[in-house]
């Protein structure tokens, strides 16, 4: 997540830096560092921001579920937590999903794939373009 994306997320949540620090359970100094680009935004912070924004924008979301977009075979769907929990629009939020034919073991590995996936790209474009 870039510093510009981080700032956009904070603005979409309509939070000050102090309020966002409190919401994320981090320090104000960390928020400053993310927005200035002095520190990389940790995966858990990125994940929490995306989740919070997804809850704000959920009613306006017309995106298709990941298993439809990716045309996953029925056997793969049945083994995937995104299918199990009917979270195909939030597949990027759930660890252990079956993306590119294999289970993603951790958040960093998962997000490396998700950042190049059309499911997250469509969602990110929707939220980043909403004011």
For the segment 100-128, the average pLDDT, to the nearest whole number, is 78
Q: At what angle do helices 118-129 and 43-57 cross, to 10 degrees?
A: 70
pLDDT over 80 (residue 9): yes
- Which residues touch 93 (CB under 8 Å, ≥6 apart)? 47, 50, 51, 54, 87
**Range(s) within the chain of domains with CATH label 1.10.260.40:** 1-60
pLDDT by residue (tens digit) across 56-104? 765 455 678 888 888 889 988 888 888 888 888 888 888 888 887 788 7
pLDDT over 70 (residue 131): no
pLDDT over 80 (residue 39): yes
The pair of three-digit structure tokens given for residue 99, joined into one six-digit string: 């993306």
The CATH architecture assigned to 1-60 reads Orthogonal Bundle (1.10)
**Rounded to an integer, what distance in angstroms lies between the CA atom of residue 34 and that of residue 62?**
31
The pair of three-digit structure tokens given for residue 12, joined into one six-digit string: 């979409």
Beta strands (DSSP E) in the chain are: 98-99, 102-103
């Amino acid at each position: 997540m870039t510093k510009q994306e981080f700032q956009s997320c904070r603005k979409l949540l309509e939070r000050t830096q102090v309020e966002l620090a409190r919401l994320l359970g981090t320090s104000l100094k960390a928020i400053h560092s993310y927005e200035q680009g002095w520190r990389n935004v940790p995966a858990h912070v990125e994940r929490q921001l995306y989740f919070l924004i997804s809850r704000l924008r959920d009613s306006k979301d017309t995106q298709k579920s990941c298993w439809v977009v990716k045309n996953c075979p029925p056997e793969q769907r049945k083994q995937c937590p995104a299918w199990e929990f009917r979270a195909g629009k939030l597949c990027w939020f759930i660890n252990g999903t079956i993306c590119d034919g294999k289970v993603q073991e951790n958040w960093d590995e998962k997000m490396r794939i998700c950042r190049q996936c059309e499911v997250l790209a469509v969602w990110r474009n929707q939220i980043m373009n909403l004011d």
